[in-house]
């Protein structure tokens, strides 16, 4: 093979290598990512979104960091409460990298460091409270853990956004005791509700009986009042009629004969009773014959 062909092949190979190196040196940083670049083993720059050129041999990408919010779900950790109850708690951490440089150079294996820090922080917090408080104070535990973890991870370029206790698993015997307690509480509430219902029913029944008696008494009272008013009205009408009759007689100026007749009528009424003796006033002596006739009539009447 001629020498000029060998030179051309070598030259073409060199050009191809340079082209490949240049293409490989062009780096595109995507959205929500960040590149940490070193130059000769020392931190050089942090590249944001866009196109960047990496100088071959001199520059090196130390790490690619995601700026998105990330979630770490840690396995259950054994913790001991203040009243010496051992239980399992698993946590979920929501965090975001705010400083890629500190994240790369701040701590070795950041995720593992966050996991260990979460476990120790959780043990410290749970160790200060008892079992009942641990089961009912999730918000307090979450808030306290988030504050402690955020302060501790700040030098690592990490922002802890939220901490959630996903599961709290007490020992089996504690769970059984809690179930029995809950069952007893439910039965107690049921008994109380039944008793309250019966009590309310008795109260309503008594109130209904009371109301009926009150209404019955009021109705009887009104009936008696109406009867008394009717009787009083009848007496008033009768007396008014008698008064009108007397006034009419007085106005008509009756003579002695009429008065004697009225007296005889009264005598007839008296004779109609059970009396056996009748005393006739002297003023009626003139009408003795009429009285004799009336007496005979009375004797002939059948006894009642």
The pLDDT tens digits for 87-105 are: 889 899 999 999 999 999 9
Q: Are 96 and 161 in contact (CB under 8 A)?
A: yes
pLDDT digits (tens, 9 = 90+) for 55-99: 888 888 989 999 999 999 888 888 888 888 888 898 999 999 999
Distance CA 218, CA 18 (A): 117
pLDDT digits (tens, 9 = 90+) for 103-161: 999 888 889 999 999 999 999 999 888 888 888 888 999 999 999 999 999 999 999 99
Q: CB of 90 within 8 A of CB of 166?
A: yes
pLDDT of 268 reads 59
> How does residue 304 score in pLDDT terms, banded at 50, 70 and 90?
very low
Domains of the chain, start order: 3-65 (no CATH), 69-170 (3.30.479.30), 266-304 (no CATH)
Q: What is the mean pLDDT of residues 201-227?
A: 88
Mean local confidence (pLDDT), 167-184: 78
Nearest to 53 by CA among 43, 39, 33, 67: 39
pLDDT for residue 5 is more than 80 = no
Place of tokens 């007490």: 170
Short-list 137, 107, 114, 113, CA closest to 125: 137
- State the Cα–Cα distance between residues 125 and 140, nearest whole angstrom: 10
83-87, 172-176, 211-215, range with the lowest pLDDT: 172-176
The Cα 95–Cα 162 span in angstroms is 7
Give the 3-state secondary structure of residue 243: helix
Of residues 207 and 272, more confidence is placed in: 207
Q: What is the DSSP letter of 287?
A: G
Three-state secondary structure call for residue 208? helix
Placement of tokens 């990512």 in the chain:
33
% of residues, the chain, pLDDT over 70:
81
Residue 51's DSSP bridge partners are 28
Q: How far apart are CA 185 and CA 178, in angstroms?
A: 10
């Amino acid at each position: 093979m001629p020498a000029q062909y060998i030179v051309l092949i070598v030259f073409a190979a060199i050009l191809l290598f340079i082209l490949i190196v240049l293409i490989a040196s062009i780096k595109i940083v995507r959205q929500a990512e960040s590149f940490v670049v070193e130059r000769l083993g020392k931190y050089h720059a942090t590249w944001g979104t866009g196109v960047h050129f990496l100088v071959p041999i001199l520059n090196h990408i130390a790490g690619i960091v995601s700026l998105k919010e990330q979630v770490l779900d840690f396995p259950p950790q054994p913790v001991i409460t203040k009243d010496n109850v051992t239980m399992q708690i698993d946590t979920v951490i929501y965090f975001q990298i705010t400083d890629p440089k500190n994240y790369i150079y701040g701590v070795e294996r950041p995720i593992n460091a966050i996991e260990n820090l979460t476990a120790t922080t959780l043990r410290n917090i749970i160790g200060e409270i008892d079992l009942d408080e641990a089961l009912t104070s999730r918000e307090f535990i979450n808030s306290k853990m988030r504050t402690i973890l955020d302060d501790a991870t700040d030098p690592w370029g990490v922002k802890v956004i939220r901490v959630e206790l996903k599961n709290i698993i007490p020992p089996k015997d504690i769970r059984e005791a809690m179930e029995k307690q809950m069952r007893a509480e439910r039965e107690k509430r049921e008994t109380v509700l039944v008793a309250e219902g019966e009590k309310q029913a008795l109260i309503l029944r008594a109130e209904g009986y009371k109301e009926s008696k009150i209404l019955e008494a009021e109705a009887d009272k009104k009936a008696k009042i109406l009867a008394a008013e009717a009787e009083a009205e009848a007496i008033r009408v009768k007396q008014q009629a008698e008064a009108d009759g007397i006034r009419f007689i007085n106005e008509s100026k009756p003579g002695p004969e009429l008065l004697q007749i009225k007296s005889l009528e009264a005598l007839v009424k008296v004779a109609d009773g059970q009396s056996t003796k009748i005393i006739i006033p002297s003023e009626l002596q003139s009408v003795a014959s009429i009285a004799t006739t009336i007496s005979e009539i009375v004797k002939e009447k059948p006894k009642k």
